[in-house]
Chains A and B, each alone.
Chain A
Amino acid sequence: MAAIALERIRKVYPNGHVAAEDLSLDIEAGELLVLVGPSGSGKSTVLRLIAGLEAPTAGRILIGGRDVTAVSPQERDLAMVFQNYALYPHKSVRENMAFGLRVRGTAPEVIAARVSQTAASLGIDGLLDRRPAQLSGGQRQRVALGRAIVREPQAFLLDEPLSNLDPLLRVGTRAELALLHRRLGATMVYVTHDQEEAMTLGTRIAVMNEGRIEQLAPPRDTFDRPATAFVARFVGSPAMNLWPGTLAGAGGRARVTTTGFEVEVETTAPAGPVQVGIRPHEVAVVEAGHGDAVAQVEVVEPLGATTTLHVAVEGLADGLARVVVPPGTAARPGDRIGMRLPSARLHLFDGNTGIRL
């Protein structure tokens, strides 16, 4: 198992698209690092750079301390699981799994033993003589994992491996992946656009946006202390409420004024334009007229364990705010409610740069 390091990577595609900009990333040996971000954020590019399928325009890539920037994918000793699995359609499951070992000249007895052992551990030993076309989506996914595991590589690269599975299977496989990571103790780099997958799987997660890493931290930290307004909006479901406002006053007793409400905050940041945010479950619903803001309930979404209210806050123009309340709520569309925004639960971001204050 090896550590992977990206040093000041820049990647510009021939069409001029900048997919990564001055990007540095240290992935520790044995860690499961999740690269998460919206499509086009450059997360898949980072994975392909590590794999050697793309060459960086500038910067260095190290695997296990060795500079592999100019090394071909064949010589990097990594394994990759593709979003569409990329199983060889003309080869049986057994041949699919054996291919990488055969190419590397492993002895046939060793290949046979490792393939059957890996297949047994994944519960696909009954499928070894089938072709990929005869397998279900979940089975193909396991074969793709098996093909990676059997190689015993330096690190695993996983490119949205669960996105082609149906939702039920996805949650089950997600847990199995977490178990697998613990059992193998392997370095894994995992790309997804699903923040929930990132939160549940990652030892650390790197939130990417427009070719940059916005925050690299354990999942809990990205949720509790998002480094930028982008991370705040991207991590967590339903997404954090963010409103533009102005910060005034100083000496630890500052006030944020928006067009809809005014709240006290504890901050040492200088006065100026800010974005103020609060997680939907931190908003306390009170009677209209009390609290910090007044809102009208527009949509009620009972989700079972909780209920999400979409509310129009008076004085705030853009869009609906989200409030998570207990399932037994009496709120109906059209009701007017008061919202208390506890100052300890507020997040403040610079109005221009989006950086946490």
Chain B
Amino acid sequence: MRRLSWPWQLAAAVTVAVMMFPVAWAVLSSFVPENRLFAPPSLDPSALVLDHYRALFDTRDFWTPVRNSLVVASLTTLVAVTLGALCAYALARLEVPGKAPVLAFVLAVSMFPQISIVSPLYLLLRSLGLLNTYPGLVLPYLTFAMPLTIWLLVGFFRQLPAQLEEAAFIDGASRWRTIREVVLPLSAPGLATTAILTFLYSWNEFLFALSFALGPERYTVPVAIALFRGQYQVPWGEILAAAVVATVPVAAIVLVAQRRIVSGLTSGAVKG
């Protein structure tokens, strides 16, 4: 790779600094005692404390929202990618009448402002007895997760050479066996990218979780953090500590899967 000339390097450094500054500030502040949060910042390590993290897990039971978020995001990802892959394969490869309208409809659904479907969904979930349950969050999450997975995976499946599947048919493999042994292994990068993106969206989702999780035992991380604010005080230290805790798994996933995501997003762009 060609080395950048120094003005570009400087521009890159500035961009990274601007983007990283709030994150760095949040991480740093989460270690600063409450009484000094609004004082000029200090980098003196001896002044840094773990108070906020202790408070988070000892007095607030932050484990529950973390567990809820993990369960809901994982279930959503599992269901959305499994069902989405089947839908996407059908739309990409089989002769389905009205493919284009179906895809357009799927896209239109994902364009709905979430707030406009909160009330109907609330009534629906209430009559199904699913309010304040995990399915009561996973099902609404599928409204944005399914369009995402279907659109991403239709793209991935379409760029697989059709001859590979035809070769498998002629070799005697059934449609299912072809999907299992040829299509899925080859679209692993696409499936991984789709799963990660679905997980991130579900992990960060706020409005549905706020509306359909009624008690602290079902709060997800974003809801729990938002509800830290009391009537008379805002525990900024704990909010920042919670934000760090909520970001770490997501950042870890992205860092580990970075190459996968990039290669998944660009695979097929060049012949190879």
> Which chain A residues have a beta carbon within 8 Å of chain B's beta carbons?
51-53, 72-74, 76-80, 82, 84, 86-90, 99-100, 103-104, 147, 151
Q: Which of B161, B166, B171, B173 has the most CB of A within 10 A?
A: B171
Tell me whether A74 and B172 are in contact (CB under 8 A): yes
- Return A76 CB to nearest CB of chain B, in Å: 8
B163 at the interface (CB under 8 A from A): yes
B168 at the interface (CB under 8 A from A): yes
Tell me whether B170 and A99 are in contact (CB under 8 A): no
Task: Identify which of residues 157-216 in chain B touch chain A, using a CB-to-CB cut-off of 8 Å.
Answer: 161, 163-164, 166-174, 177, 181-182, 185-186
Tell me whether B163 and A82 are in contact (CB under 8 A): yes
Tell me whether A51 and B170 are in contact (CB under 8 A): yes
Tell me whether B166 and A73 are in contact (CB under 8 A): yes
Query: Across the interface, which residues of A come within 8 angstroms of B163, CB to CB?
Result: 82, 84, 86
- Return B160 CB to nearest CB of chain A, in Å: 10
**Would A99 and B168 be within 8 Å (CB), given that A74-B173, A88-B182, A89-B186 are in contact?**
yes
> Out of A51, A76, A103, which one reaches B177, CB within 8 Å?
A103
> Out of B161, B164, B172, B185, which one reaches A103, CB within 8 Å?
B172
Q: Which of B161, B174, B181, B186 has the most CB of A within 10 A?
A: B181
Task: Return 8 A-B CB contacts under 8 Å, by A number.
Answer: A53-B166, A73-B166, A73-B170, A74-B172, A77-B172, A80-B167, A87-B167, A100-B172
**Would A78 and B170 be within 8 Å (CB), given that A88-B182, A89-B186, A90-B185 are in contact?**
yes
Tell me whether A86 and B161 are in contact (CB under 8 A): yes
> Which chain B residues have a beta carbon within 8 Å of chain A's beta carbons?
161, 163-164, 166-174, 177, 181-182, 185-186
Query: Across the interface, which residues of A come within 8 angstroms of B167, CB to CB?
Result: 80, 82, 86-88
Q: Which chain B residue shows the least CB distance to A73?
A: B169
Query: Across the interface, which residues of B come within 8 angstroms of A89, CB to CB?
Result: 164, 186
Tell me whether A74 and B174 are in contact (CB under 8 A): yes
- Return A185 CB to nearest CB of chain B, in Å: 21
CA–CA, A82 and B173, complex, Å: 17
Q: How many A-B residue pairs have CB under 8 A?
A: 57
CA–CA, A84 and B161, complex, Å: 10
Query: Across the interface, which residues of B come within 8 angstroms of A82, CB to CB?
Result: 163, 166-167
> Out of B161, B164, B171, B185, which one reaches A100, CB within 8 Å?
B171
CA–CA, A103 and B161, complex, Å: 21
Closest 3 CB pairs of A and B: A100-B171, A86-B163, A86-B167
Tell me whether A99 and B173 are in contact (CB under 8 A): yes
Tell me whether B169 and A151 are in contact (CB under 8 A): no
Q: Which chain B residue shows the least CB distance to A99?
A: B171
- Return B187 CB to nearest CB of chain A, in Å: 10
Query: Across the interface, which residues of A come within 8 angstroms of B170, CB to CB?
Result: 51-53, 73-74, 76, 78-80, 100
Q: Which of B164, B168, B172, B174 has the most CB of A within 10 A?
A: B172
> Out of B164, B169, B172, B182, which one reaches A53, CB within 8 Å?
B169
Tell me whether B171 and A151 are in contact (CB under 8 A): yes
Query: Across the interface, which residues of B come within 8 angstroms of A86, CB to CB?
Result: 161, 163-164, 166-167
Q: Which chain B residue shows the least CB distance to A72?
A: B169
CA–CA, A79 and B169, complex, Å: 10
Query: Across the interface, which residues of B come within 8 angstroms of A147, CB to CB?
Result: 171
- Return B200 CB to nearest CB of chain A, in Å: 27
Known: A72-B169, A103-B173, A151-B171. 12 other contacts (CB 8 A): A53-B170, A73-B170, A74-B173, A74-B174, A82-B166, A86-B166, A87-B167, A89-B186, A90-B186, A99-B168, A99-B173, A104-B172
- Return B268 CB to nearest CB of chain A, in Å: 12
Query: Across the interface, which residues of A come within 8 angstroms of B164, CB to CB?
Result: 86, 88-89
CA–CA, A89 and B161, complex, Å: 11
CA–CA, A151 and B173, complex, Å: 13
- Return B177 CB to nearest CB of chain A, in Å: 7
Q: Which chain B residue shows the least CB distance to A75?
A: B172
CA–CA, A78 and B170, complex, Å: 7
CA–CA, A147 and B170, complex, Å: 11
- Return B180 CB to nearest CB of chain A, in Å: 11
Query: Across the interface, which residues of A come within 8 angstroms of B177, CB to CB?
Result: 103
Query: Across the interface, which residues of B come within 8 angstroms of A76, CB to CB?
Result: 170
CA–CA, A103 and B169, complex, Å: 10
